[in-house]
Amino acid sequence: MDTLAALALGTEKPTTQLLDRKPFGRYDSLISYLMLRNILVQAIYQCVCCLPLMFAGKYIPFLHAPCAFVKTISSTPSENFYEHCASNIRDTSEALEDRTYDRFGQPYYSLEDVQQDTEVIQTIIFNIFVFCQVFNMINSRRVNGEHNVFAGLFTNFMFLGIMAFICIMQVVIVQFLGILFGGVEFNPGKGTYGLSWQGWIISLILSALTLLVGQICFFIPVPKTKPKKFKGEDSIITKILECKCFKKEEKYEEFENKHNDKENSPLVEKVKMKKKVKKIKKVEAMTKIKLN
């Protein structure tokens, strides 16, 4: 998917707005502050979407997975996991008719039920993650502070074709090939037909919010940098790791001092004196020729 996304973004045609953009320095980092901001914000948003589903997805009634990620270590195959599940939110009056009960009169949730519910939440998390990258491809079309990420979208058919191919393959994997990837299997005999429509709705809504998050990013200020003209300057990541984000002036002063020291060295002064002597000799020779 990453290879296809790189191919899609690499097919963007240049626009006339590029002529108005300030040039980058020769030694500038490939990752600018704007890119770094977008990467961090999108990563945080995806964690906010996926981690709550992993730890609390069983408490969401319409997902119908009350036993997701229940601890099954050191458990017996015939154990009832009812006490560990998120109550009986899945058990409607119709479902209770087909569900068996243990000797204590509680609905029986087997190890297979736990595995099936876990697969449902895993499939939803996987689906959200992939479609977040798909929608983030649109955000990544503009990485220099442009707000309109849809500008010229329908003029690049290669980009649209690759996006459509990724979406179709994702639908095929989630709905029909779940058994190969640890997701919900497609087995009409067991009454499973891949991810449910509730799972698709929550997946697409949360992943589509990536576009809104991309616009909210513009309200987060980032440091303004000058083009890097000197090879010895640190990259953005190095400055962040070493807390040197606000020590640019010291760097330039150190460079100027070194440059001045080189100019004032004895060897440089000798070379300058030789050049002056040569110029004086040339002037004297020219004056002699004119006098003669």
What are the φ and ψ backbone dihedral angles of 158, each rounded to 5 degrees?
Answer: -65, -45
Write out pLDDT tens, residues 129-143. Answer: 999 999 999 998 888
The answer to whether residues 218 and 211 touch, using CB atoms and an 8 Å cutoff, is no
Cα separation, 169 vs 179, in Å, equals: 15
Cα separation, 141 vs 150, in Å, equals: 8
Predicted TM-score (pTM) of the model is 0.70
Strand, helix or coil at 88? Answer: coil
**Cβ-based neighbour number of residue 24 at 10 Å:** 14
The size of the chain, in residues, is 292
Write out pLDDT tens, residues 59-112. Answer: 888 888 888 887 776 666 667 766 777 764 444 444 455 556 555 556 667 777
The answer to whether residues 65 and 58 touch, using CB atoms and an 8 Å cutoff, is yes
Triad 27, 31, 36: Cα angle to 5°: 145
Lowest model confidence (mean pLDDT) among 171-185, 205-219, 276-290: 276-290
Strand, helix or coil at 101? Answer: strand
Q: Report the amino acid identity of residue 199.
A: G
Give whichever of 13-17, 95-99, 148-152 has the largest mean pLDDT: 148-152
Cα separation, 124 vs 195, in Å, equals: 8
Strand, helix or coil at 187? Answer: strand
Q: Looking at the DSSP assignment, which residues form a beta bridge with residue 92?
A: none
Read off the DSSP letter of residue 205. Answer: H
Read off the DSSP letter of residue 61. Answer: G
